[in-house]
Each structure stands twice: as structure tokens, then as C-alpha cells.
Amino acid sequence: ITIGVASETAAGEKRVALTPETCKKLIARGARVRVQRGAGRASSFTDEAYVQAGAELADDAAAALGEADVVLCVQAPEPARLATLHEGSAVVGLLAPQADAARGDAIVARKLLAFPLERLPRTTRAQAMDVLSSQAGMAGYKAVLIAAQLAPRFFPMLTTAAGTIRPSKVLIVGAGVAGLQAVATAKRLGAQVEGFDVRPETREQIESLGGKFLDLGVSAAGEGGYARQLTDEERAEQQRRLGEHLKNIDVIVCTAAVPGRPAPKIITAAMIAGMKPGSVLVDLAAETGGNCELTRPGETVDADGVTVAGPLNLASSGAVHASEMYARNLLNFVSLFVDQGALKYDWNDELLAKTVWPQPPVAAAVAA
Ligand code: NAD
């Protein structure tokens, strides 16, 4: 079987879905690997390194993917590109098939086995394949570095001949994978770190990283380990307590999300207006609209002395390690159906059956 990897085409996307390391391991599973020349350049993986790992280089995307039985990608290829893949081939990546009708149509028309990894069940067994977690880790880390860069303050406490500098007070909103990495990173930089989440179990997780849990008196544990939406009363109470607290905070890093929904609006314009001048907010949730009312996705704005940044695709800004983790996640996922040079899809395996889009071909056949 042939595995193909083309250069990413989305603007600003620097990651790559295959590294020389995972290339070698896929070849060891009996696959032939074709990589478009330069596909790893933006993430610092050279063509020579892929060749040394056993890959064949292709001059363009068509040559890399034309013969592929399995296509690996970070973001989904253009619909026109999907239409050129051979029927029934597998496509694995952050495909977001429902985000773009033309993309979804191309997948269905071509009878592709699309595996949008954002659909992967988040079970213990799936952890090694969980691209949302691995990429969120990088995003949370980078968000704190951006905040530190924008802040007109030190993060750590300093005792100097010019007097003592008080540490920055950093609040992390949302303590999922990105938020916990943000807590850990801000802590390493020496800030006083607080975090909060609506899932009560995050208290212990935040504390284990040296942060303090900010108790806003609202708990909203939902299904499958995710948060549910808050009721209006819960939201009002959360916001009242938070507004008071923010008057004393220097840096906010927002990471709160509810799957499949726009990001919850947690930080209001009035709360920002109540903050000290020179405060900074970095909104990792900008991608899905932002946790702050003043966030403009992709921009950094000055709100009367408070800087509000809404950076996009932060994982891509740490492309080397983000790609290494992403590519290993993909290797682990693909290993479910690529072995000894053959493709074997076990549709009784929930990791395959629940991830494939729009539905497992076997179920489709049964239904028909
Ligand atoms: P996410 O990106 O969907 O959300 C980020 C965080 O925002 C979550 O912790 C959520 O509770 C929080 N949030 C939502 N609404 C909020 C609000 N109004 N106020 C404050 N916080 C709010 O989540 P994620 O980081 O992808 O992961 C969610 C959970 O699933 C985490 O606990 C994670 O550890 C767990 N998880 C488990 C596995 C596994 O066991 N295989 C894998 C990955 C993640």
C-alpha cells in the first residue's frame, strides 16, 4: 500500500502530518511512503531526512497523492484535490468535513474513508492518537509566551538593587489540556497562577501544577468528561464573581471551549474596562469566536489600555514539536488499519467506526 503526504495549503499552516521518524515506522509496517518535495520545510524537516527514512519524493501534490491508499494531512486538502484521490482511499487529519460543504461533498462523491481525527473518541486507548490533546498542549504553551511578550511586566518576582518586583498575577480560564499546559508554563515563568474551570475535577489538576483554583461557585460537568453549557443564572453568578476578581489580575489566558459550539463568552467588555491599564488577555478560543467579548480573531487590539490578543492556529507556531506529536498520533491511528503492507479496517473497533465520516461503510451496507 502507498501512503501519501502533500504540502499543507491552508494559509499559515506550518505543520506536517509525517515526520522522518513516523515515515520510517510506517515503512516498517510494510507501506510505501510518498512525500511532496518541501512538505516538511515549514516545520524544519528536510527532503533529505525523508529520503533517508525511506520515503520517495514527489514533485507535486498530484504525484504525492495520486497513487495513495492513505493520505495523511494536518488540515483537509482542497475539495479539488480530494476529487483527484482514488476512490475508497483513506484520508486522515483534522478534516472538519462539516465546516465546508464542498469538502464534505467531495469526500462523499469520491467514496473516501475520511477519518477526521477531531471525531476520535477520547478513551484511554485513544490517548496516543489524540491530536486535539497534543496540539492543545502546544497552543496553551504558546499562548502564555505571547502573553508574557505582550505584558509590560515581569512574570517572576525579582529582588534587585532597584527594588523588589512583584510577580504577575496570571489567570487561566478553562483548564482542559491547553489550560493546564498554560498553568504549568506560566508557573515556570514565575508568575502567581490561578485557574478555573466549570469541571470540578480540574481543581486538583490545577493545584498539582502549582496553580491556585479560583472558585467561582459554578460547576457544570457534562457528558463524556466535557463541560455542558451553563444556565443563565449560573453564568450571571460566575460573571459577577469573576468581574470583581479580575480587577487584581495582570494577565488572562482564555482556553474555555464547549465541543461543537461557539466558545463561551466569559470575559465581558465591562470586566476588561475594570482591569488595570497594562493588563493583557490572550484568547486561545479566538478560533471559535473567543471567550472575551472584545476578542477579534487573528488580531491584537488595545481596549483602553488593556491588550486583547486573539491569535489563531497557535499549534502551528510550534511546528517542529507540534508536528512530531501530531505525526506520532497519526502513526498510532493508522496502525489500527495498516499492517504488513495491507489495509484491514475492523469496523467493530470503535476508534475506527466512530471516527470515520460520514459513517462506516459496513454499517452503510447493512442499512442499504
Ligand atoms: P475543550 O478544549 O473542549 O475545553 C477546554 C476547557 O474549557 C474544558 O476543561 C472545559 O471544561 C472548559 N470550559 C468550558 N466552558 C467553560 C466555562 N464556561 N468556564 C470555564 N471553563 C469552561 O477540552 P479539552 O481540553 O479538549 O478536554 C476536555 C477534558 O477531556 C479534559 O479534562 C481532558 O483531560 C479530558 N480528556 C481526556 C482524554 C482521555 O482520557 N483520553 C483525552 C483528552 C482529553
Q: What is the pLDDT of residues 172-207, one digit of tens each?
A: 999 999 999 999 999 999 999 999 998 889 999 999
CA dihedral 289, 295, 300, 304 (to 10 degrees): 170
Please report the atom of ligand 1 found closest to the CA of residue 178: 25
Whether the bond between 156 and the residue before it is cis, its omega within 30 degrees of 0, is no
Query: What is the Cα–Cα distance from 206 to 362, expressed in whole angstroms?
Result: 43
Torsion sign (Cα): 319, 179, 166, 152: positive
What's the pLDDT tens digit per position in 239-265?
899 999 999 999 999 999 988 889 999
CA of 176 to the centre of ligand 1 (A): 4
284 lines ligand 1 (CB under 6 A): no
Residue 110's beta-bridge partner residues?
none
Q: What is the largest CA-CA distance in the chain?
A: 79
Residue nearest to atom 13 of ligand 1 (CA): 256
pTM of the model: 0.94
- Residue 218 banded pLDDT, cuts 50, 70, 90: confident
Please report the atom of ligand 1 found closest to the CA of residue 218: 19
What's the pLDDT tens digit per position in 75-113?
999 999 999 999 999 999 999 999 999 999 999 999 999
Residue nearest to atom 24 of ligand 1 (CA): 176
CA of 175 to the centre of ligand 1 (A): 7
Check: CB of residue 143 under 8 Å from CB of residue 314.
yes
- Name the residue type at position 146: I
20's grid cell:
522522518
How many of the other CB atoms lie within 10 Å of CB of 216? Answer: 18
Identify the CA nearest to 272 among candidates 296, 300, 292.
292
Q: What is the ipTM of this complex?
A: 0.94
227 lines ligand 1 (CB under 6 A): yes
- Residue 238 banded pLDDT, cuts 50, 70, 90: confident
- Residue 365 banded pLDDT, cuts 50, 70, 90: low
Please report the atom of ligand 1 found closest to the CA of residue 201: 32
Q: Is residue 368 over pLDDT 50?
A: no
| pLDDT given at position 236 | 87
Residue of 120, 141, 181, 198 to test ligand 1 pocket, by largest number of atoms within 8 Å of CB: 198
